[in-house]
Structure 1
Amino acid sequence: MQLLLLLGALLPAQARYDPTWESLDARAVPAWFDELKFGVFIHWGVFSVPSFGSEWFWWYWQKERRKPYVKFMEDHYPPGFRYEDFGPLFTAEFFDPNRWADILKASGAKYVVLTSKHHEGFTLWGSKYSWNWNAVDVGPKRDIVAELAASIRNRTDLRFGLYHSLFEWFNPLFLDDASNVFKTRTFPTSKSLPELYEIVTKYQPEILWSDGDGNAPDTYWNSTGFLAWLYNDSPVRDTVVTNDRWGAGSICKHGGYYTCSDRYNPGHLLPHKWENCMTIDKWSWGYRRNAQLSDYLTIEELVKQLVETVSCGGNLLMNIGPTHDGCIVAIFEERLRQMGAWLKVNGEAIYGTKPWRAQNDSSTPGVWYTFKPKEDVVYAIFLNWPVSGTLILGEPKTTLGRTEVKLIGYKEPLKWISLEEEGMIVAVPQLTLSQLPCQWGWTLQLTNVN
């Protein structure tokens, strides 16, 4: 016993965080998040039933009374139909969490974030704080969160995360607090905060993706108090990663990593860890039955998003929206598998990398750099195949007889010549696109450069 006490006294005490932004912001984002680089966002809920226009369907129909949404309801549903009546139609009969896990694994993603509750207030678990407006009581009659978490953890190496909306558009408790200019706090104390404690304790997500502050400050949500518990005493206190959406004014300023805005891709290096959360469907996070083929980003556009984001120190969180019956439609599955095929070849230039001293090349547009300091390797990812047979790189400083250049997926080293102060010219193999190791972006591995 004395030996145990002595060892305990010698071990460093775990850092404790106070419920202040000054203290909480001092917590480093756990290293695993920066290493993994790429995740998949899943927006799924009752909004997937009408699957028209946007996941903000309820708000646009009932609050803003936008004409296309009003007309859609008048044309297709009887008078008096309420949004709540969509709940039983959220059936999820084709939801197969094992299939979802296998598709996510094939995408090359290393983490996944599921919407546990969007602004409509419907929870994908049987929350005791959302009586009769959750996936166990209504619709699927299944605990979606538990099932997907189990499949992800049993079948893949992906980290499991949850999105949670702080506010709910039409919850009367929130509306009452808002009418009192948030001087009362009935909604967060009786609904939103208990849900957060519930999902963390029950499902132990390693990403907690907060959203939807309803224009209320973080003091209304008691965000600092919750985050102090999350970092100090929760079951995921050592590994959990959070974002920056914890109250009006906190985005891109407080919390864990920064999101700054939806589809945020600054194109330059930021001093703080950040994430580009974006959608394969250009216009919506939820599934849309009325989407056109041109509304979906191509795999070339998605690879470009990934490469630019990682080169500038960010992570990419790429969103899909399943159907109300639980299907990941073919175009989303294709894009996910295409990304996985690209990463299978080029993943060493993405996973575990750091930003280099130059993010992109001054001489050749469409060339982006990443770096592995321990291996002293720089990766030059070029998004366009040089039809001339050569590639001019203006950023690397080379040494004849020492610098080596390889095309990832191609066996032989490449020939290059120095342009002295201007950089280098690399001779790429004379291959057709069908002969290349991948189709949507190519990576040069440069060793011993400055």
Structure 2
Amino acid sequence: MERRTVIKGLAGTLPALWLSRALGAGLVETLQPGEPVAKGPFKPSWDSLKQYAVPDWYKRAKFGIWAHWGAQCQPEHGDWYAREMYQEGSRDYKSHIAEYGHPSKSGFKDIIPKWKAEKWDPDHLLELYKKAGARYFVAMANHHDNFDNYDSKYQPWNSTKLGPEKDIIGGWAKAARKQGMHFGVSVHAAHAWTWYEVAQRADKTGPMAGIPYDGKLTKADGKGTWWDGMDPQALYAQDHALSKNSEDNGTIHKIWGWDAAQGASIPDKEYCEKFYNRTADLINKYSPDLIYFDDTVLPLYPISDAGLRIAAHLYNSSIKKHGKLEAVLNGKILDEEQRKCMVWDIERGQSNRIEPFVWQTDTCIGSWHYDRSIYDNHYYKSAKTVIHTLADVVSKNGNLLLSVPVRADGTIDSDEQAVVAGITAWMSQYSEAIYDTTPWKIFGEGPAMEEAAPLSAQGFNEGKGKPFGAEDIRFTLKGDVLYCIVLGSPANGQVVVKSLAAGSKHYPGEIAGVELLGQRLTVERNSNGLVVKLPEGKQDDIALVLKVLPA
């Protein structure tokens, strides 16, 4: 069906460039079949979305846990498996041939039915995560592999029909809400169009040279196969010309933002509308409190208004359900104006300042999709690293969304359990310095600030600066109580908070006392700082929280 657009009273079909510019200016009203945009105050335009205000629950929550879990976890070979298994000579290509066969005969579609999630117990995992201090939980609704982990009306390649034959999102949602946690979903599938282009290739060398991979198969090719009656193009979406320089595996990063000038193959209207309808259906069925988009700004922006319509639909649906706006929408690489419309997300990185708007860091203790080699080699982030990241992010007006990779069978391994237990132990003692806080006048002090790495694209400055140590302190505020989160245990038994020195412009008032876990400590305030003598004995080597009480 033809899309109709209205611009300043003129109706008709517009060239892509005109449409893109009009969408960016918020001048387009798009009338579509399928899932309607919920009625309400928000319209699919940037000017309208600027009405957005971050809900109080999210501002106060600070910490969420994410299950970035789907069919790509079946091989337990890490992230982007469904793409890299088609890259001749890569680690995933070699392991795929060894375990499943050549991608001309056994492609990613053939991995899906092998994923059974047979030991998945969402109630158990959500109970663990609640104890660890997570106040919201996010589950992956789909990835760039284009497979929906829910009862999808518009995508037959979904987990209720194939693989586990379970409503994964429905199960996660029920378990999270049972724990009293807010529930969110992550949506990544807008990129399948270009991300799967590798599936159009063929080997260039060896005995299978020239034999096409399975990316171009159609429904007609399925006669007599296990997927008889299914259309592979509903999954791979490869009935289109390749992007410029598609043979270069790195090209995908240059065209992530649908930059036609960089040679991106631009999706057709049918693809964009299917994505919109799938996501609107997801909202209608599961009423998520949060949607995380793995996209530059919004999905398919600026070549389509699908993302703008989804934003308006989410916000209006939330108002209809709750009587007020309770929804959060995460997007990446946002300009200052767009950060008024949604919550800016930084992937594997942190801002280097106190941000004026609430923002979020998303990171993972390992690979985004489960990678057995990380467990075998004990390469997960430690609980200490997680807590340091949390303290740093919260001090700058941010939230932390932490992915704990889930194995193919639905469990987390023993090393991951140990990390979660470490987070639980720290949060059980010190979470008052995290929850319900606001930034102080400055976010911190210490040597790590002087060597902080700048952000790059989506973020990706994690671990590039000087590691945190006992001289690094992060500040949070609750009412008139200041928390000093000391990122380590000082060797000499005392902490010096330079920002609280006598006569400090940051804290000109008197200090009545300082506590550690409810115990009053001996302090001296001089021109060098607030000198705090710690109790005798070993202190927490992750981080200490000093509670500064005003006079």
In the alignment, structure 1 residue 367 sits paired with structure 2 residue 391? no
1:240 aligns to what? 327
2:252 aligns to what? none
What is the DSSP-based 3-state SS (H/G/I as helix, E as strand, rest coil) of the residue aligned with 1:258? strand
1:103 offset after TM fit, Å? 1.4
In the alignment, structure 1 residue 444 sits paired with structure 2 residue 546? yes
CA distance in structure 1 between the aligned counterparts of 2:242 and 2:94, rounded to whole angstroms = 30
Higher deviation after alignment, 204-213 or 112-121: 204-213
1:257 to 337, 343, 346: 343
1:418 to 522, 525, 550: 525
1:390 aligns to what? 494
Structure 1 stretches lacking a partner, 5+ long: 1-13
1:401 offset after TM fit, Å? 7.3
What is the DSSP-based 3-state SS (H/G/I as helix, E as strand, rest coil) of the residue aligned with 1:242? strand
TM-superposition CA deviations, 1:378-425 (whole Å, max 9, x none): 000111212212211111246897521111x2x4311111214x3221
1:327 offset after TM fit, Å? 0.8
CA distance in structure 2 between the aligned counterparts of 1:18 and 1:302, rounded to whole angstroms = 38
1:178 offset after TM fit, Å? 7.9
1:181 offset after TM fit, Å? 5.0
1:46 aligns to what? 71
1:78 to 97, 101, 107: 101
1:229 offset after TM fit, Å? 2.3
Query: Contact 1:269–1:359 at 8 Å: present in 2 too?
Result: yes
TM-superposition CA deviations, 1:287-322 (whole Å, max 9, x none): 111224342111111111111111111111111111
2:133 to 105, 108, 112: 108
1:77 offset after TM fit, Å? 2.5
1:350 offset after TM fit, Å? 0.3
TM-superposition CA deviations, 1:60-101 (whole Å, max 9, x none): 121x43521221122223342221111111101101121122
Query: Contact 2:272–2:300 at 8 Å: present in 1 too?
Result: no
TM-superposition CA deviations, 1:33-71 (whole Å, max 9, x none): 11000001111111011121x320111121x43521221
1:211 offset after TM fit, Å? 1.8
2:293 to 190, 210, 214: 210
2:382 aligns to what? 298
1:403 to 512, 521, 526: 512
Aligned in 2, Cα 1:117/1:172: closer, same or farther, shift over 3 Å? closer
1:289 to 355, 372, 375: 372
Query: Contact 1:252–1:258 at 8 Å: present in 2 too?
Result: no
Aligned in 2, Cα 1:158/1:360: closer, same or farther, shift over 3 Å? same
CA distance in structure 2 between the aligned counterparts of 1:83 and 1:305, rounded to whole angstroms = 35
CA distance in structure 2 between the aligned counterparts of 1:423 and 1:222, rounded to whole angstroms = 54
What is the DSSP-based 3-state SS (H/G/I as helix, E as strand, rest coil) of the residue aligned with 2:353? coil
CA distance in structure 2 between the aligned counterparts of 1:112 and 1:93, rounded to whole angstroms = 21
What is the DSSP-based 3-state SS (H/G/I as helix, E as strand, rest coil) of the residue aligned with 1:18? coil
What is the DSSP-based 3-state SS (H/G/I as helix, E as strand, rest coil) of the residue aligned with 1:239? coil
Amino acid at match of 1:73: H
1:25 offset after TM fit, Å? 2.9
CA distance in structure 2 between the aligned counterparts of 1:65 and 1:114, rounded to whole angstroms = 31
1:221 offset after TM fit, Å? 4.5
1:332 offset after TM fit, Å? 1.7
1:426 offset after TM fit, Å? 1.1
Query: Contact 2:301–2:307 at 8 Å: present in 1 too?
Result: no
What is the DSSP-based 3-state SS (H/G/I as helix, E as strand, rest coil) of the residue aligned with 2:331? coil
2:184 to 161, 166, 177: 161
2:166 aligns to what? 142
1:429 to 528, 535, 549: 535
Amino acid at match of 1:272: F
TM-superposition CA deviations, 1:125-166 (whole Å, max 9, x none): 1212111x2111111111111112112112x12111001122
1:120 aligns to what? 145
What is the DSSP-based 3-state SS (H/G/I as helix, E as strand, rest coil) of the residue aligned with 1:295? coil
Residues paired across the two proteins, number: 416
CA distance in structure 1 between the aligned counterparts of 2:344 and 2:509, rounded to whole angstroms = 41
With the length of structure 1 as denominator, give the TM-score of the two structures.
0.86
What is the DSSP-based 3-state SS (H/G/I as helix, E as strand, rest coil) of the residue aligned with 2:95? helix
What is the DSSP-based 3-state SS (H/G/I as helix, E as strand, rest coil) of the residue aligned with 1:74? helix
1:21 offset after TM fit, Å? 1.2
Mapping of residues 13-24 of structure 1, within 5 Å: 16-24=41-49
What is the DSSP-based 3-state SS (H/G/I as helix, E as strand, rest coil) of the residue aligned with 2:402? strand
CA distance in structure 1 between the aligned counterparts of 2:497 and 2:40, rounded to whole angstroms = 45
Query: Contact 1:362–1:395 at 8 Å: present in 2 too?
Result: no
1:308 to 380, 392, 395: 392
Mapping of residues 153-192 of structure 1, within 5 Å: 153-154=177-178, 156-165=179-188, 166-168=190-192, 169-170=195-196, 171=235, 173=237, 176=240, 182=266, 184-189=268-273, 191-192=274-275
TM-superposition CA deviations, 1:226-263 (whole Å, max 9, x none): 21222224546621100124xxx647762411114x21
Query: Contact 1:119–1:212 at 8 Å: present in 2 too?
Result: no
1:439 offset after TM fit, Å? 4.4
2:412 to 308, 325, 328: 328
With the length of structure 2 as denominator, give the TM-score of the two structures.
0.71
Amino acid at match of 2:471: P
CA distance in structure 1 between the aligned counterparts of 2:68 and 2:94, rounded to whole angstroms = 24
What is the DSSP-based 3-state SS (H/G/I as helix, E as strand, rest coil) of the residue aligned with 1:444? strand
Higher deviation after alignment, 291-300 or 313-322: 291-300
CA distance in structure 2 between the aligned counterparts of 1:334 and 1:36, rounded to whole angstroms = 23
2:176 aligns to what? 152
CA distance in structure 2 between the aligned counterparts of 1:276 and 1:432, rounded to whole angstroms = 31
Query: Contact 2:488–2:541 at 8 Å: present in 1 too?
Result: no
CA distance in structure 1 between the aligned counterparts of 2:403 and 2:290, rounded to whole angstroms = 15
Query: Contact 1:162–1:205 at 8 Å: present in 2 too?
Result: yes
Higher deviation after alignment, 388-397 or 344-353: 388-397
Amino acid at match of 1:194: N
Higher deviation after alignment, 349-358 or 204-213: 204-213
